[in-house]
């Protein structure tokens, strides 16, 4: 079955500390992986996708097909990074849908 | 260009009633997906429409239905409401083209959501 797992519901770090939000997926094909973010009182929006291999707001994510992981990392967390983060998977076959994990709430303390 | 618009933003219903939610996608986007968002479950996929056809459906009971019109606007309907249907219902539009993996066409743009409370 296609599944996205985010093991941490809440992650709390101090400002300036490194942060890693974990994401593991179950899918045997070649999916497209995304990270979406929802800041307080804002809409859910795309943060980055694995295809583009770019850094957005200092965040990067590497797709590890061997470990079926797509962890989100940032070397120095900022208070404005506090938000809800969702990892998502778009299968390459089997229909047009994107599957989301349960989300991780990141809280960056001053 | 205008974003994804969802109406109504908030509504309160009682058990047994039905509700219809509306979504207008970004101009040019022909795919509309619906999700149910709850604190414990995250985003659960409801269904996806493209050119007035439902192409995929999630694991929800038949009380949840939807449709898409020729102008790509979409509606979802929930009949015989239950307390557990209380949630934020999100609509997202995209290009979602066949064979477009990796092109950016699969990026979802979300609306603000319709918050349904069932009493």
**Residue by residue, what is the 3-state secondary structure of chain B?**
CCCCEEECCEEEECCCCCEEEEEECCCCCCEEEEEEEECCCEEEEEEEEECCEEEEECCCCCCEEEEECCCCCEEEEECCCCHHHCEEEEEEEECCCCCCCCCCCCCCEECCCEEEEEC
User: How many residues are listed for chain B in this entry?
Assistant: 119
What would the pLDDT profile of A17-53 be if each residue is shown by its tens digit?
A: 999 999 999 988 888 899 999 999 999 999 999 877 7
Q: Is A95 left (phi over 0), alpha (psi -120 to 50) or beta?
A: left
Q: Are B74 and B49 in contact (CB under 8 A)?
A: yes
Contacts of A96 in chain B (CB under 8 A): 31, 33, 48, 50, 55-56, 96
DSSP assignment, residue A66? T
Distance CA B7, CA B47 (A): 18
Contacts of A40 in chain B (CB under 8 A): none
pLDDT of A62 over the 90 cut: no
Contacts of A25 in chain B (CB under 8 A): none
Does B111 lie at the interface with A, CB-CB under 8 angstroms?
Answer: yes
Q: What is the dihedral of CA B83, B88, A9, B96, to 10 degrees?
A: 130
CB contact under 8 A, A96 and B50: yes
What would the pLDDT profile of B45-75 be if each residue is shown by its tens digit?
A: 999 999 899 989 999 999 999 999 999 999 9
Does B51 lie at the interface with A, CB-CB under 8 angstroms?
Answer: no
Does A23 lie at the interface with B, CB-CB under 8 angstroms?
Answer: no
Q: Calculate mean pLDDT across residues A2-21.
A: 96
| Residuewise pLDDT in 10s, chain B (119 residues) | 679 999 999 999 999 999 999 999 999 888 999 999 998 788 999 999 998 999 899 999 999 999 999 999 999 999 999 999 999 999 999 986 666 665 667 889 999 999 999 99
> Residue A34 to residues A13, A52, A63, B24: CA-CA distances in angstroms?
23, 10, 10, 23
């Amino acid at each position: 079955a296609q599944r996205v797992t985010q093991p941490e519901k809440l992650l709390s770090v101090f400002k300036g500390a490194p942060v890693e939000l974990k994401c593991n997926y179950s899918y045997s094909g070649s999916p497209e992986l995304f990270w979406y973010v929802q800041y307080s009182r804002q809409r859910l929006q795309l943060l980055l996708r694995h295809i583009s291999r770019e850094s957005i707001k200092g965040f990067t994510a590497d797709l590890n097909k061997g470990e079926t992981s797509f962890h989100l990392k940032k070397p120095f967390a900022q208070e404005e990074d506090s938000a809800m983060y969702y990892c998502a998977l778009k299968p390459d076959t089997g229909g047009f849908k994107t599957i989301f994990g349960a989300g991780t709430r990141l809280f960056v303390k001053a | 260009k205008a974003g994804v618009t969802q109406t109504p933003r908030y509504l309160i219903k009682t058990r047994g009633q039905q509700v219809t939610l509306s979504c207008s996608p970004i101009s040019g986007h022909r795919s509309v997906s619906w999700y149910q968002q709850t604190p414990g479950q995250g985003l659960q996929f409801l269904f996806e429409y493209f050119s007035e056809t439902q192409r995929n459906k999630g694991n929800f009971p038949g009380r949840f239905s939807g449709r898409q019109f020729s102008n790509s606007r979409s509606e979802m309907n929930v009949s015989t409401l239950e307390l557990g249907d209380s949630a934020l219902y999100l609509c997202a539009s995209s290009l979602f083209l066949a064979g477009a993996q990796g092109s950016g066409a699969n990026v979802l743009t979300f609306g603000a959501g319709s918050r349904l409370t069932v009493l």
